[in-house]
Structure 1
Amino acid sequence: MSNSTLNKNLVIAALLMTGATTLPALADRTVTSEEGSPNTRMAKKVALDASDRQMLTKLAQGNQAEVDAAKLALEKSDSDAVKSFAQRMIDDHSKGLKEIHALAKDKEVKLPKEADKKHQAALSELKKLSGPAFDQKYLAQAGHADHQATLQLLKEIEKDANDADLKMLAKKMEPVVQSHLRMVEDIKSK
Structure 2
Amino acid sequence: MQEMEYLIIILSLLVVSIIIAVFVVIWRDRRDLKLKQITEELERIDELYTEIQRYRKEMENMLDTAKKQTDSAVSRIDNQVKLVRDSVAKLEHNSHANNSNNRDVKDSSRGKDRQQKNSGRGRSRNTNRRPQAPQNNSNHKTEQREQPEQPEQRIDDGEKYSKMMKLAEQGLSNEEIAKKLNLGCKEVELVTQIKRKNIS
In the superposition, the TM-score normalised over structure 1's length comes to 0.23
Structure with greater helix share of residues: 1
Which structure has the larger Rg over C-alpha atoms? 2
Q: Which has the higher contact order (CA 8 A, sep 6+)?
A: 1
